[in-house]
Each structure stands twice: as structure tokens, then as C-alpha cells.
Amino acid sequence: MVSPSKALEVFIHLFHPWYFLLYSTFWLPGTIWYLINTMQLRTLFTPRRLQSAWFARFWGRIGSNIRENATPRVQPLIVQAHGVVLDIGPGNGEWLSCFDKEKIERIYGVEPNVECHGRLREKIAATGLQDIYVIVPVGVEDLEQWAKKEGKGNLGKGSVDSVVTVFCLCSVPQPKRMIKDLYGYLKEGGNWIVYEHVIQKENRFLVWYQAYVNVFWPHFVGGCSITRDTVRWLKEAGSWSKVGLKKPEDEPSYNMLPHIMGVLTK
């Protein structure tokens, strides 16, 4: 028989996504008011841009809390980044302090959401990365074209030592295509550092319930999806010499936002 405390714990995990969505809605009115006050009417009346502005303000508030909780898992991964690095979707720069500057030649922070760039620049300066961190204001699909335009000759297919994806593969528009593109940028022997939430596969009810939550989730969390089979797509991206991915040991099987973490080596 399930104890009351265990039943309560399971309920909290099942309810948590709805609490997160509710908390997100509190930031929409403030975002609209801010855009009106600053006369950013084009952003206000363009749904995708409004969503980006809303998410940037929301994430600016909760990002530090998420970083604090996840740092014991994420920092030992990011510290393995070296050489030329692609930092995908850095957002407001929550993870910049995890990089080991002694190992880094250049970091390209691929962040198309310009609403995040202000806070990202502040975090770059605060962490002393201003000499090696370059903000790339386009998506991965336009990265090569941007590099040619900006004269970044060292950035092309087969030129990157490390790729870092932390809480970003869940929100890109074409994840399978982007994963394959990023695999192409990696050198032989390069590493891909991963910390992402992924699809729930524990039992039929959880799979169904997560899919139901995901009907609403992307609209409130910047286009993020919680039902992506990211592990399979990473493994199928190309040939790996080592796949060191695992589920965090302290996560229960009924977590509605299960994570995967680790490093893949090309």
C-alpha cells in the first residue's frame, strides 16, 4: 500500500507542470505593459516576438533558481568544454560561470532571441569572458552564413571542439535537423555536452499525461516541448566513439520533466 507521504510526493510531481505554467502567465501582463511603455509595438503585435519577449522576462526571473538547483549536475559537464565551443541557446547566461576559461579558445553563444542579449552581455562581463565570448544572433541553421559574413574563418563544419546544449534542444523549431547540423560542426574527437529534459517513457499513463500537458506547455514556455525523444535523435545524428548519457540518479520515475545528462564523443 502506498503511504500518504509517497502519494503526496507523486501528486506534487504530477501537478508541478501546471504550477510552472500558471507562474509563467503572471509575467505576460508585465511584458505587455513594458512593450507599450517602450513603444515596441511591432514586438507586441507579432505573436512569435511577443512570446520571445515574454519568455525572456519570465526566464530572467526563474533562471537563477533553476541554475542553483541544476549546477551540481551541470557544472561537472560544462567544465569539460574546450577549444572552440558552440554554446547553444545560452539565454541570459545562467551557465557561463561553469566554463573553465583556461581550456577555452573561443565561445560562440548561438542565441537568436535578441530579448536575452542584454542580460547575456552583463553575464559575459561578470564572468570575465568578454575577450573570448561572441554572441551569435542567429539560429544554428544560419550559423555558417553568419560566420562567413562576420569573417569568422575558424568556424565551420568540422571545426568545433565542444558543443554545449543545456535546456535548449527542447525549444528549437526543428530539433532533429539542428542536432544533425551540430554534429557536422564537431571535430573528430570533439565532445557534445548535454543536459536536457526529455520524453517520459516509464509507463503508458505518464506518457499520455505528459503528452496532454505538452498541448499547453509550448505556448507558455517560449515554444519549449517536453515530449522530444532527444536521446534517440542524438544517438542517430552520426557515429559516436562514446555515448556517456544517463538519467540523474536522484530523479524519480514519475518525474514529469525527466532529464538526460552526459557527454557524447565523436
Q: What is the pLDDT of residues 6-50, one digit of tens each?
A: 888 888 889 999 999 999 999 999 999 999 999 999 999 999 899
Q: Could you tell me which residues come within 8 angstroms of residue 24 by beta carbon, excluding any fewer than 6 positions away?
A: 54, 58, 220, 221
Higher local confidence (pLDDT), 4 or 195: 195
What is the C-alpha separation between 47 and 16, in angstroms, rounded? Answer: 26
Residue closest to 168 by CA, chosen among 48, 54, 55, 24: 55
Quote the pLDDT of residue 3: 82
What is the C-alpha separation between 124 and 126, in angstroms, rounded? Answer: 6
Structural domains in the chain, CATH included, are: 67-265 (3.40.50.150)
What is the C-alpha separation between 175 and 233, in angstroms, rounded? Answer: 8
Distance from chain centroid for Cα 48: 18
Q: What is the dihedral of CA 51, 117, 194, 58, to 10 degrees?
A: -40
* pTM of this structure: 0.90
Q: What is the pLDDT of residues 121-167, one digit of tens each?
A: 999 999 999 999 999 999 999 999 999 999 887 788 999 999 999 99
Q: Which three cell numbers stand for residue 135?
A: 554572441
For the chain, give the mean pLDDT. 93
Quote the pLDDT of residue 1: 65
Instruction: Give the residue carrying C-alpha cell 533558481.
Output: 65
pLDDT average, residue stretch 206-219 = 96
| Whether pLDDT at 60 is above 90 | no
| Whether pLDDT at 2 is above 70 | no
